[in-house]
Chain A
Amino acid sequence: MLAWTSLFIFSLLYGIIDIFAYKSITRTTINYNKFQTLLILIIYAIFSAFVSSIYGGIRIILNFFLVLFLLKTIFKENLAKTTISALFILLSFSISEMIYGFVGGIILGFDLKELSKQCLGIVCSNSVIAILTYIFYLIKPVKKYISDIIEWYRKKSSFNLIFLLLIGIVTIFIILYKNVYNDLNYIEFIFNNLFCLTIIIFVFGFFKEKAINNKLAIEYDNLLEYVKSYEKIVVEKSKRQHEYKNQLILIRGMIASNDDDSKVTNYIDKQLNLEIEDPDYQWLEKLENIPSGGLKGLIYYKIAQMRKKNIDVFVDVSEVLSKKELWKICEEQLDDVSKVIGVYVDNAMEATSQADLKSILIEVDYEDKKIKFTFSNTYKGTLDISKMDNEGYTTKGKGKGYGLSLVKDILYHNKLLLQTRELNGRYYVQKLYINTEE
């Protein structure tokens, strides 16, 4: 009975720490019913005490589901968010357990195995672990680190990652379990803990990297959204301006043909000249027919780079491509299409920057059920087109010349994509056809 009581007490303590940790890392503020919360905590503690009496890896998995139950019923938040939070809370408990094992077992020389057999020992040991976990969640950078990961995961929940994390945690706990219940010497103990630490660092590092990528993706989406709204304004403005100018030209023509009222024509000419458009926005208007997404973002970005390098850019997207369904294939093949276009544009920029006339044309058209991207650029020197697909062929110097070889590989595996090239006067022309029918 005493043993059960001690298990119940530390389970209750763990439950409270779980709630505190969840609130810290998710920044959740809820008006919870005190009685209901207490009831859930007691139910959790009863089951947790029972689970704690089980030995082996299954204990960790059952414990995870109990923590999940506790957090989900109290906070009533998104399951993905609660799941990933529960896993991280378990992970933090394992860190505390490691610290406790190292300090208590190695530095202070306690017999941890013996302590785990005594009721007071169980309560004291687990209280120390709970306090360490509590302190862990008081550290601001740690809180921010974990909450970033949870925020990323909430937006991109994936079962595989939960599975991966769960396996990691089970492994850690099994090793820690060995620390306590097997008679390990110091060296084995330290190696055990170092191994655990490596897994923990890996798990945190992995999730942090994903979270950073997500942050970038959000920033990109925001930027694209901004450009999209800006594009609408420019297009609308341009349409109105075109109409307005046409009217003025007509009036001017009529006046000029009837009598020579130069005062009026001069005035109109002055008005027309006031409305000078910024050439940099020409491409912005033209890209309207490419649906928003990765590809449009890539082309926007590359054109902005060209403008920075003072390259004369001409962009034209056929009106036929205003039908969004034609672009479906590009979304499906985005990975390959964006890689190929990236290589083409980078090559075009490098080649044209060496030429006397720095000029690039990007044209997108639809013919024979294929989307056709045409990239034309000026260049300097002599091109040997037949050798261009060979790895290492370059006119740009050492370490370059792998782009088109990469494209060749992509096109070899992706039969929906086809490339052709030609020399058209002073322009090297690279075409990419994307078959819209599989």
Chain B
Amino acid sequence: MIHFILCDDEELFRKNMIRAITKAKEKREFKCEFHEFEKYNTELEQLIQSDLSSKIYIMDIEMPNSISGIDIARKIRKFDWNSSIILVTSHAELSYEALKAQIMILDFISKFNNCELELEKAVLKAVRKVNQKKVFNYSTGGISCRIFLDDILYIAKDPVERKCVIKTTYGDVVLNKTLSEMADELDSRFYSSHRSCLVNTEKIAKVDWSESMITFDNGESIYLLARDKKKGLKEYVSVD
């Protein structure tokens, strides 16, 4: 059961949201329940803090009588990094890219640009990610660190030390963990392509089966594909 939490001061917009979700439901079957709010209140606060699994939030950024959708998103992220958040805005021309990457907003939808259709697409994306883990947490020197699984390309074992290197879209992170310890912290999108490598199958752009080469979205390639792992990987990616 997916819980859609909708927050907008205009009833008409909330209806639009429900219509978009219903259309998405026709394309990909899922059970859902709607929770409607016209502003942030204690009931919504309780829902945010509840243990309900599979929550998808769709909220308006600007609500005159309430804290903004961005503020609500921040409150959500204090407890929960696994629910998807979609924000709707009438300031679509403003840049929210930085915020998107920082509090993990799945999408910003403009109210002016085919809102319903865009919302439907975002809902489908969110539904696909419902059972996915979103974040990998660790701490170093007493400081908490967070890596979004969406940003990881692959994780490779250090050939010498008991360490592994997490290759992300923005840089490398070295951790004092073994690859099997890492695998326990990840979700099903990560596949062990080699005994010294875990790849994010959603980030694979191309696989050269004959050369055992995996190329990722950012153009980076690795030759860490074992012969006995090819069959398994073919289940994740389309075969060229």
Give chain A's interface residues, CB within 8 Å of chain B.
Answer: 242, 245-246, 249-250, 253-254, 269, 272-273, 276-277, 279, 282, 312-314, 316, 318-320, 355-357, 359-361, 363, 365, 376, 378-382, 385-386, 420-427
B90's closest neighbor in chain A, by CB? Answer: A245
Q: How far is the CB of B62 from chain A (nearest CB, A)?
A: 6
B93 interface contact, C-beta 8 A: yes
Pair B170/A319 contact, Cβ less than 8 Å: no
Number of B residues near A (Cβ < 8 Å) is 41
Interface majority SS on B: helix, strand, loop or mixed?
mixed
- Residue pair B93, A382 in contact (C-beta under 8 Å): no
Q: Are B141 and A385 interface neighbours, CB within 8 A?
A: yes
CB of B143 closer than 8 Å to a CB of A: yes
Instruction: Report A4 CB to chain B, min CB distance, Å.
Output: 83
Query: Which one of A245, A246, A361, A426 lies within 8 Å of B169 (CB-CB)?
Result: A426
Binds A, one of B63-71, B124-132, B153-161: B63-71
Contact A421 to B143, CB < 8 A, known contacts A319-B68, A426-B170 = yes
Taking the nearest CB of chain A, how far is it from the CB of B149, in angstroms? Answer: 10
CA distance A361 to B13 in the complex (A): 29
CB within 8 Å: A-B pair count: 108
Q: Are B91 and A277 in contact (CB under 8 A)?
A: yes
Residue B173 at the chain A interface, CB threshold 8 Å: yes
Q: Which of A313, A316, A357, A421 contacts B170 (CB 8 A)?
A: A357
Highest count of chain B CB atoms <10 Å: which of A246, A282, A376, A422: A246
Whether A314 contacts B146 by the Cβ 8 Å rule is no
7 contacting pairs across A/B (C-beta < 8 A): A253-B16, A272-B112, A276-B93, A312-B95, A314-B96, A314-B98, A425-B151
B111–A423 touching, CB < 8 Å: no
Residues of B within 8 A of A (CB): 10, 12-13, 16, 62, 67-68, 70-71, 74, 90-91, 93-99, 101-102, 104, 111-112, 140-148, 151, 168-174
> Known: A314-B98, A426-B101. Is A249-B112 also a contact (CB below 8 A)?
yes
- Tell me, in angstroms, the Cα distance from A411 to B145 when the chains sit together: 23
CB of A425 within 8 A of CB of B146, answer: yes
- Cβ-defined contact, B62 with A242, below 8 A: yes
Complexed CA–CA distance, A426 and B102 (Å): 8
Q: Which A residues are in CB contact (< 8 Å) with B170?
A: 355-357, 378, 426
Asked if A422 and B101 sit within 8 Å, CB to CB, the answer is no
B67, A426: Cβ atoms under 8 Å? no
CA–CA, A232 and B50, complex, Å: 40
